[in-house]
């Protein structure tokens, strides 16, 4: 669900600098780049994603193993009712499966501003932002323009190439721009240096499928508390599903996860995961967070929008 774009090119080792260009962002749109950059400036001011919980469900009784999903207010368009004797994560799992089905039926391409922050090798990186353009049909392709911290870096990923893994085209900003565009396998050592995930893991569909995979694992075990609430992300109405594993186990990937699902688009627009606190009652440290702002779908992207030779790219 993520990749790192921070400090890609602030290094004397320019060869390694190229590797750090390869980020897990999404950029783009079906509008002229001049308009993209205007939106990018707006996103630059929204470095801390704006979200608030408007209405929380009433607190339920604490249980020793798995708590019930608490009462959901009628504002939510999703059925979060927990059925008799089922795991508290099952309503969220069903919603994720519905999100995937809806995405495959209705989302041909999209653009957004991606705000992300990741912990790599135990170190939490700076918050990063990229303007992204993605299509899923007939192939998975990505173009991105970095907004922060190194504005002007570009990256293009093509999944259908001579290499079955696809090809990544990357160029830096500032002085490293003179190095030109480099071609890298997406999982190469250079491409992965400083990255949490390869670019092939990028995007909303990858996020949804990973959420399903994690939930399908977690429903095999107890020790799971689920809370729901009505919320907002950047003034968009969203349903918050918060999952907490109180006790650290090898079975679980996180202590707490927060998933915000857009009530209109019916897809996740923010995901954040936290590790277990160092001491009881302590603040759980952030592991990773991804927020998709200004999402626009079905822009009618064609091959030229993901072409290495597009005259609007790598200028």
Mean pLDDT, range 114-131, rounded to an integer: 93
DSSP 3-state of 80: coil
pLDDT at 118: 94
pLDDT at 191: 76
Look at 210 and 17; give whichever has higher pLDDT. Answer: 210
Closest to 276 measured CA to CA, from 250, 256, 257? 256
Cis amide linkage into residue 149, ω under 30° from 0:
yes
pLDDT at 192: 78
Look at 202 and 32; give whichever has higher pLDDT. Answer: 202
Query: Please, which pLDDT band fits residue 4 given cuts at 50, 70 and 90?
Result: very low
Query: Please, which pLDDT band fits residue 50 given cuts at 50, 70 and 90?
Result: low
User: Does the structure show a pLDDT above 70 at 116?
Assistant: yes
User: Does the structure show a pLDDT above 60 at 79?
Assistant: yes
Mean pLDDT, range 107-130, rounded to an integer: 94
Ranges of each domain in the chain? 14-306
User: Does the structure show a pLDDT above 90 at 131?
Assistant: yes
pLDDT at 51: 53
For domain 14-306, the CATH class is: mainly beta
Query: Using a CB cutoff of 8 Å and minimum separation of 24, what contacts does 134-137 make?
Result: 134/26, 134/28, 134/109, 134/110, 134/202, 134/203, 134/204, 135/108, 135/109, 135/301, 135/305, 135/306, 136/104, 136/107, 136/108, 136/109, 136/203, 136/205, 137/108, 137/109
Give the tens place of pLDDT for each residue, 82-105: 999 899 999 999 999 999 999 999
pLDDT at 42: 46
Report d(CA 50, CA 46) in Å as an integer: 7
pLDDT at 18: 38
Query: Please, which pLDDT band fits residue 228 given cuts at 50, 70 and 90?
Result: very high
Give the tens place of pLDDT for each residue, 166-201: 999 988 776 767 778 889 889 888 777 767 998 899
Q: Which of 46-50, 108-112, 188-192, 274-278 has the lowest mean pLDDT?
A: 46-50
Q: Which pTM value belongs to this model?
A: 0.77
Residue 5, Ramachandran bin (φ over 0: left; ψ between -120 and 50: alpha; else beta): alpha
Question: How many other CB atoms are found less than 10 A from the CB of residue 202?
Answer: 27
């Amino acid at each position: 669900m993520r990749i790192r774009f921070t400090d890609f090119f602030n290094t004397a080792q320019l060869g390694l600098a190229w590797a750090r260009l390869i980020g897990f962002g999404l950029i783009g749109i079906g509008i002229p780049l001049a308009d993209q950059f205007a939106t990018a400036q707006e996103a630059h001011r929204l470095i801390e994603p704006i979200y608030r919980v408007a209405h929380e469900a009433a607190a339920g009784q604490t249980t020793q193993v798995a708590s019930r999903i608490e009462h959901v207010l009628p504002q939510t368009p999703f059925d979060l009712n927990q059925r008799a004797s089922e795991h508290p994560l099952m309503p969220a799992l069903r919603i994720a499966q519905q999100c995937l089905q809806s995405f495959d039926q209705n989302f041909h391409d999209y653009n957004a501003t991606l705000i992300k922050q990741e912990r790599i090798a135990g170190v939490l990186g700076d918050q990063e932002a990229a303007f992204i353009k993605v299509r899923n049909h007939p192939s998975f392709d990505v173009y991105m323009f970095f907004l922060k911290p190194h504005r002007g870096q570009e990256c293009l990923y093509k999944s259908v190439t001579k290499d079955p893994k696809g090809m990544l085209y990357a160029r830096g900003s500032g002085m490293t721009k003179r190095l030109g565009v480099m071609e890298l396998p997406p999982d190469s050592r250079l491409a992965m240096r400083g990255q949490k995930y390869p670019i092939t893991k990028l995007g909303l569909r990858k996020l949804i499928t990973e959420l399903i995979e994690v939930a399908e694992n977690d429903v095999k075990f107890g020790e799971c508390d689920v809370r729901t609430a009505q919320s907002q992300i950047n003034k968009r109405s969203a349903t918050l599903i918060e999952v907490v594993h109180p006790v650290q186990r090898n079975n679980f990937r996180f202590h707490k996860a927060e998933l915000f699902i857009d009530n209109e688009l019916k897809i996740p627009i923010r995901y954040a995961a936290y590790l277990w606190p160092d001491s009881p009652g302590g603040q759980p440290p952030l592991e990773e967070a991804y927020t998709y702002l200004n999402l626009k779908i079905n822009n009618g992207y064609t091959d030229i929008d993901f072409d290495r030779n597009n005259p609007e790219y790598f200028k």
